[in-house]
Amino acid sequence: MKTLEFINGLSKASGGTSSCVPELCNALSRVSANDLLVNVQMKQDGESIFPDPKLVRVHNVDGFKFSIFRWAPQLPFVLKSLCRKEKIELIHVHGVWQTHRAVQVARALKIPHVITPHGMLTSWHFSHKSWKKRPAWWFYQKSDLDTARAVHITSDSEGDDLRKIGYKGPLALIPNGSEIPEWKEPNTSSKPVRTALFLSRIHLKKGLLNLVEAWSIVRPKGWRMLIVGPDTEGYGKVVKEAIQKKGLESEFVFQEPVYGEAKWDIYRNADLFILPTFTENFGMVIPEAMACGLPVITTEGTPWNELNDRNCGWWIPIGVDPLVKTLRLATEASDEERRAMGKRGRQLVEEKYSWDSIAQKMKALYEWVLSGGQAPSFMRFD
């Protein structure tokens, strides 16, 4: 298959999308389904995450920021040229709102396209800053989805939200994958302080103020809260002010984002992972934490009910009260109990969320789009 993946930026500060797309490209190449990624690259992006150059060819298109928009004047010409030269059969567009011109090229060249919104059309995201999203939805974004051969979702709840805003086409329910690092047995015997870890973007939707409030009520003895991640919109100031008001400065530690092996070491050195988010279409950091043997606390704003089903964490309602109750349970559990939960989580990720298994499903989606026939079992038409 001659497929092309398109994304409007791979900055490390952008969160899960910028890390999962390169990993998907690597895995697709291993199953002989993809070898070309087109990315809009700006100076403001800073350090970016790219796929393995031995597996995937990356074509960067220079862009610049104009007001709230990322703009790459040469993008349509570059895409058309690549599609013709490489005889591209399918374009997979990652993201919405600022990917319209890639869809325009697909339609102009009569190349089928698939769209992955990456959670950008969930109810919470659609209502957040809706003053700019609703006009864009009616002007072009709804048409982009309606003309797609399929929309890729990572959870049923994301699909339900798409149905609510009027998308009626095929949905491909394929979760994101997770890199699975080398296993290292945790050593807690010599730790004077246990660590609860939040590793994600510091953003309004992540529920950090609920976490500060819950922590101030529980004040778990012998624990600290480590917050690691990029603060791209200045929300960290709001969180730090809340911490200061509660007198928790000695219990909260902030650290700049880390990547590669340093990131895995952050996970491995923690004792508990907490993501008190309002919404996630998947939540890449959750299987990452599980892959490192951490029990996870997260909310029903994520699709991770398996935490309860497999007894490897806690999937709880959004809000302070459920977080208070669960934080007490998790921090009062023994090291052995938390380690056992973590090992069950690692096993779950190995069974269901390896990138190679996800790539096989994505390849099956591409084949169905191009050739028709019986729809894969993961397709939703309801």
Q: How does pLDDT run across 235-255, given as a tens digit for each residue?
A: 999 999 999 999 999 999 999
Helical ranges in the chain per DSSP H: 16-30, 75-86, 100-108, 123-127, 130-136, 142-146, 156-164, 208-218, 236-245, 261-268, 285-291, 306-309, 320-332, 335-352, 355-371
- Assess if residue 25 is contained within a domain: yes
My answer on whether 56 and 124 are in the same domain is: yes
Q: Are residues 200 and 293 in the same domain?
A: yes
Tell me how crowded residue 255 is: count the other CB atoms within 10 A of its CB.
12
Please tell me the pTM assigned to this model. Answer: 0.87
pLDDT at 300 over 90: yes
Burial of 72 by CB count in 10 Å (0-12 exposed, 13-18 middle, 19+ buried)? buried
Task: Read off φ and ψ for residue 198, nearest 5 degrees.
Answer: -115, 120
Average pLDDT over the chain reads 93
10 and 136 inside one domain: yes
Query: 169 and 27 share a domain?
Result: yes
Q: Which residues pair with 297 in a beta bridge?
A: 274, 314
Identify the bridge partners of residue 272 per DSSP, sorted by sequence position: 196
The answer for 264, left when phi > 0, alpha when psi is -120 to 50, beta otherwise, is alpha
Residues 227 and 319 in one domain: yes
Is the dihedral angle over the CA atoms 182, 186, 191, 196 positive or is it negative? positive
- Rounded Cα–Cα distance for residues 225 and 215 (Å): 9
Hunting for tokens 């990624």 — which residue is that?
Answer: 37
Query: Are 231 and 273 in a shared domain?
Result: yes
> What is the identity of the amino acid at 342?
G
The whole-number average pLDDT for the span 96-114 is 96
Q: Is residue 131 assigned to a domain? A: yes
Cα–Cα dist 227/252, whole Å: 7
**185 domain residue, yes or no:** no
Residue 189: which pLDDT band, with cuts at 50, 70 and 90?
Answer: low
Residues 6+ apart with CB under 8 A from 222: 192, 193, 194
Q: Residue 189: inside a domain, yes or no?
A: no
List the structure tokens of 318.
């959004």
Q: 67 falls in which pLDDT band (50, 70, 90)? A: low
Is 77 a member of any domain? yes
358, 345: one domain: no
Q: Read off the tokens for 357.
A: 């298994």
**Does residue 188 lie in a domain region?**
no
Decide if 183 is inside a domain. Answer: no
Q: Are residues 348 and 363 in the same domain?
A: no
In this structure, are 345 and 365 located in the same domain? no
100-108 vs 75-86: helix crossing angle, rounded to 10:
40
pLDDT > 70 in the chain, percent: 97
Residues 119-167: tens digit of each pLDDT: 999 888 888 888 888 898 999 999 999 999 999 999 999 999 999 999 9
Task: Indicate whether 159 and 199 sit together in one domain.
Answer: no
Same domain, residue pair 112 and 62: yes
CATH (domain of 12): 3.40.50.2000
Helices and strands (H, E) in the chain, number of each type: 15, 16
pLDDT in tens, 53-66: 999 999 999 988 77
Q: How confident is the model at residue 47 (pLDDT cuts 50, 70, 90)?
A: confident
Domain enclosing residue 338, as ranges = 194-352
**Do 346 and 203 share a structural domain?**
yes
User: How many domains does the structure of the chain reveal?
Assistant: 2
Question: Do the beta carbons of residue 231 and residue 239 sit within 8 Å?
Answer: no
Cβ-Cβ contacts under 8 Å for 154 (sequence gap 6 or more): 118, 119, 173, 174, 175, 176, 281, 282, 303
Output the pLDDT for position 363. 96
Domain assignment of residue 230, yes or no:
yes
Bigger pLDDT: 44 or 145? Answer: 145
